[in-house]
Chains A and B, each alone.
Chain A
Amino acid sequence: MSELRHVGRDTPRPDAAAKASGKAHYIHDLSRPGMLFGKIKFSEHAHARILHVDTSRAERLPGVRAVITAANTPQVRFGYLRDNFALKKDKVRHFRDEVAAVAAMDPDAAAEAVELIRVEYEPLPAVFDPYAAMMEGAPLVHETDPEGRPRETNEVPVAFHHVSGDIDAGRRAAKHVAEGRFSTPRIQQSCMGTAGCIAEFGGDGNLTIWAKTQIPFLAQRDFNRALAAMGLDGRNARVIVPCLGGAFGSGLDTHAYEYVAILLAHRTGRPVKIVYTRHEEFANLSPRQSAQVYVSQGCDEAGRLTFRHVEVFQDNGAYTSWGATYPGVMLLPATSLYKVPSIVFDARMVYTNNTYCQAMRGYGNPEMTWPLESNLDELAEAAGIDPFEMRLINCNEPGETTPMGARVTTCGLRDCLVAAAGKLDWASKRGRGRKMRRGVGMASLVHVGGSGRIYRSDASGIILRLDDFGNVYVSSGGVEMGQGLHSALTLGVAESLGVLPANVFINETDTATCPWDVGTHASRGAFTACNAAILAAAKLRNRIFTLAEEIFPAEIERNLAAYRSERPGYQPPRFDWRLEAKRDRFDLRDGMIFLKDAPDEPWARLELERLLRAIHFRPAGEMLTAEAFYDPPSDLPDWGRGRGNMSAAYAYGTQGVEVEVDVETGEVQILRMVSAHDVGRVLNPQTIRGQAYGAIAQGIGYALYEEVRTEEGRILNPNFTDYKIPTAWEMGFPIDLVFIETNDPAGPFGAKGVGEPGLVPTAPAIANAIYDAVGVRVRDLPITPEKLLAALADEER
């Protein structure tokens, strides 16, 4: 591969200076003329009939412009299973339910008005334990399905299954077996910028909504459906994505508050802004899906896995969002992490009166890798094999197709394992630290590295437009949420087109001006957008070089004349420029057009911008624009059979950690960590490091500190006082990052997605290290000091 000029270089992000200056504008900072402030009244019960909503006092409060309920607005259904409503009419199914909303001229009036709304409820028996919800006689959370047919159970009709090989044969062939039940909690995405939107109807009756979304186009589709439900058929929604204060999956669905803002905007005829307070964010925004997983794995005498049996059970909460589809992603590690000849995978989920859950970074992978990689260490111990050896024995290889049908192209897992073991000093530390209560542990991951197909199109479109000054404007449907998409795109466009990064401008993501993109999730942003950029850039280069055949010779003749006038006696080298100026002989680099294999004279180069102006201002002039629509080579899986090559490439990795346990307090101190990732190619060292370090911080929170605590459906820790995320202090241990560049053929410049992998194996790596240190294992995250002490006490007995 020829040397890259921009990709791979440590480059500051193009959006960093604005953010450092306080000039980046987030939803919180935006204002529209005539804007009103919206506020939602949430349910005061986990499960109750709504008997009456009295809004009269709220309506009379000065400054209030509208008070809406399900009674005075058209019904707007939404959600993956269409089981949710913008405003609840007959009953509330959890504390988060939106019962009424207010639009007022200032936030204080809106808040006061919400307090003045009186709702009369008839409480109903509620169910919070998902196992209880599965039983006959449990209160029904939804009495009917979205089509109005009566329901008999709380079970959610979503099917994820996989069977491959022969599990009975696999069990028989197993010399050693380990099994266990594991659980993961609900986690709050905890974006520093809370959720919010501004909805505004234009004079033409169409909707514009500035939204904190990762799916502008799927949101447009959802909002158009809502407009139709509101009797506004044919009206169109325009979704604009401003600077986001983080997302981590919380923008992958549309939310009730967005529909409420739209209803309020329509009712008042004015823009309406709804922004969640931190408390509302904790209490009313869907968190990461929790899971209870049973896993059983067996291996032969040599340590080769012979079977894997996984059963997943999820508390779906009161409505359905992407949490219900985590098992789809769980299929990937379940079938493709290590070589396993026989697999049974099943997932079930049930409605309860708890909060419902949405996407969060990793999207089921951390939930599945937690049990798998914890259990693998237990199996290794049963078999008397070192856990690092065990992983090498079962390691995935490039070129294999996994039982799910994942076609693994590049695979750097072996290198990642070796790197992790090396950096950790595994050989000298494993099994030797008990006296000091120190231990080392590792865990691996597989994730989608070439997007993840979950919709009928997994495409990303791009438009590149050149102006008169050699600048290129990039319209991409992808969303920058702090992960560095704009940086990747800037470098990718600069590299593939042949201009300087300073001449690349990324336009705001806007469904009116950008081409379709399914959404920025599955670590797909740079992978898809840069691949689209490469295709579009190639078209532009083709056109530029075709035009250069005409323009280049005359322009450099002009250059030469000017050059000669300053250097009397200068003799140019003999070269027939007109003859040699052929399309396939040109190159464009850093905004300069030149002929390859021609004499390298300073006058023999043409600035791109001169060519652009020349073709613009001549008769029948033209401006250059190119577009591309990149859809990765992958398949939409058959979820019911758990089969399909859902990604164009797969990202593997291994994390290792050394811990020291305080056996009196149960606290776990992380002494050092190594995170080795097969990334295909590093696009920008500082952005990939940021993703890796940030993921580790979230992984540590997942492993040790974080949990949305609820009791009878009510959140107990809706604030940062009691929902503890790592601070700079907790991250004060040495971290080795290792990036293995396997140069994937499907990836832009060989790169694979890297946003999510970093937090997938952290929790099991820590648990495995704790086991090495003190010989006990906690199977329910987070591994709090209390749980660890209890496990140590049990062990002593």
Chain B
Amino acid sequence: MKTEVSFTLNAGVVVAELAGHELLIDLLRDRFGLTGTKEGCGQGECGACTVLVDGRAVNSCIYPALEVEGRQVVTIEGLLGPGNDLAAIQRAFVEHGGIQCGFCSPGMILSARALLDRIADPSEEQIREALVGNLCRCTGYVQIVESVRKAAEAMRSGGSGGGGA
């Protein structure tokens, strides 16, 4: 049984025909070729597959694809502005050593963005709590937390930059 759903994916509205069992991560990676979203565990444990649905971080590997109907989905690609402009949160991760192997980074950056869109000046505890569902094996999280702090500063003074969301 296939159902057609229409939803906003990054910059614009898209349409997809889906079977009931399809998961959001496969829809994004295989159908739309947005391979920035990574599968790290397939069990909702590691957060590498994090995307934003209506501004909230979700594990796309366990999110039924049909449920995006009428919603707004943002992937890591969606944060970029025209001409490859990095959003403030992406820029901060790049500048402050928040990225090493990079596999956890798309999910981590999106979780951070979801936090900063809600809390403009988060405490360190709030940052760590917001990222507790994103596992990283490389960085030890210290420079990730620093990147989020710096992004918050930048966003408070100059806006979030980027485009899609």
- Shortest CB distance B129–A (Å): 7
- Distance, CA A370 to CA B143, complexed state (A): 27
**Which one of A189, A193, A686 lies within 8 Å of B38 (CB-CB)?**
A193
B94-A720 in contact (CB<8A): no
Indicate whether A697 reaches chain B with its CB closer than 8 angstroms: yes
Selected from A194, A694, A720, the residue in CB contact (under 8 A) with B139 is A694
Query: What are 12 sample pairs from A and B whose C-beta atoms fall under 8 A apart?
Result: A13-B97, A16-B94, A21-B36, A21-B90, A28-B35, A192-B103, A278-B42, A482-B138, A690-B139, A693-B141, A720-B135, A731-B128
Contacts of B94 in A (CB 8 A): 12-13, 16-17, 20
Which residues of the other chain, A, contact B124 by a CB distance below 8 angstroms? 732
Residue with the greatest number of chain A CB neighbours at <10 A, chosen from B36, B106, B125, B133? B36
Q: Which of B1-9, B63-71, B76-84, B153-161 contacts A (4 or more CB under 8 A)?
A: B76-84
Min C-beta distance of B27 to chain A, whole Å: 15
Task: With CB as the reference atom, state the residue of chain B lying closest to A190.
Answer: B137
Binding site for A on B (CB under 8 A): 29, 34-43, 45-46, 48, 75-77, 79-80, 84, 86, 90-91, 93-97, 99-106, 109, 124-125, 127-129, 131-145
Interface residues of A (CB under 8 A from B): 12-13, 15-26, 28-29, 189-194, 243-246, 248, 277-278, 481-484, 686-687, 689-690, 692-698, 719-721, 725-729, 731-732, 735
By the criterion CB–CB under 8 Å, are A24 and B102 in contact?
yes
Given contacts A693-B139, A729-B129, contact A482 B100 (CB under 8 A): yes
Given contacts A191-B101, A694-B100, A728-B144, contact A22 B75 (CB under 8 A): yes
Are A20 and B103 in touch, CB under 8 angstroms? no
Which residue of chain B has its CB nearest to the CB of A244? Answer: B101
Extra inter-chain contacts (12) besides given A720-B45, A735-B142, CB under 8 Å: A20-B76, A20-B86, A20-B93, A22-B75, A22-B106, A25-B35, A29-B35, A245-B38, A483-B138, A694-B139, A731-B128, A732-B124
Q: Which of A17, A18, A481, A687 contacts B97 (CB 8 A)?
A: A687
Central interface residue in A12, A21, A23, by most chain B CB within 10 Å: A21
Is B97 within 8 A of A721, CB to CB? no
- B109: nearest residue on chain A (CB-CB)? A20
Q: Is A21 within 8 A of B77, CB to CB?
A: yes
- Chain B residues within 8 Å of A193, by CB: 38, 40, 101, 103
A16-B94, A720-B45 known; A481-B101 Cβ under 8 A? yes
Contact A26 B103 (CB under 8 A): yes
Q: Which of A16, A246, A278, A693 contacts B142 (CB 8 A)?
A: A693
For B43, the chain A residues whose CB sits under 8 A away are: 278, 719-721
In the complex, the chain B residue whose C-beta lies closest to that of A21 is B80
Chain B residue nearest to A692 in the complex (CB): B140
A22-B35 in contact given A13-B99, A16-B93 (Cβ < 8 Å): yes
CB-based contact B100/A483 at 8 Å: yes
CA separation between A686 and B138, bound complex, in Å? 13
Residue pair B96, A725 in contact (C-beta under 8 Å): no
Which residues of A have CB within 8 Å of B129? 729
B94 → chain A closest CB, angstroms: 4
The CA of A687 and the CA of B105, in the complex, are separated in Å by 16
- Shortest C-beta distance, B80 to chain A (Å), equals 6
Complex CA distance for A21 and B134, rounded to whole angstroms: 17
The docked-state distance in angstroms from the alpha carbon of A164 to that of B105 is 49
In the bound complex, what is the Cα–Cα distance between A206 and B160 (angstroms)? 49
Whether the Cβ atoms of B138 and A690 lie closer than 8 Å is yes
Q: Which of B43, B79, B80, B101 is the most central at the interface, judged by chain A CB atoms within 10 Å of its CB?
A: B101
Chain A residue nearest to B36 (CB atoms) is: A22
The CA of A242 and the CA of B92, in the complex, are separated in Å by 25
A729 touches B128 (CB 8 A): yes
Given A192-B48, A246-B101, does the pair A21, B84 have CB atoms closer than 8 Å? yes
Complex CA distance for A482 and B138, rounded to whole angstroms = 7
Return the chain B residue nearest A30 by Cβ.
Answer: B35
Task: Write the nearest CB–CB distance from B20 to chain A, whole angstroms.
Answer: 15
Say how far B2's CB is from chain A's closest CB, in angstroms.
16
Which residue of chain B has the shortest Cβ distance to A29 in the bound complex? B35
Closest-CB distance, A757 to chain B (whole angstroms): 14
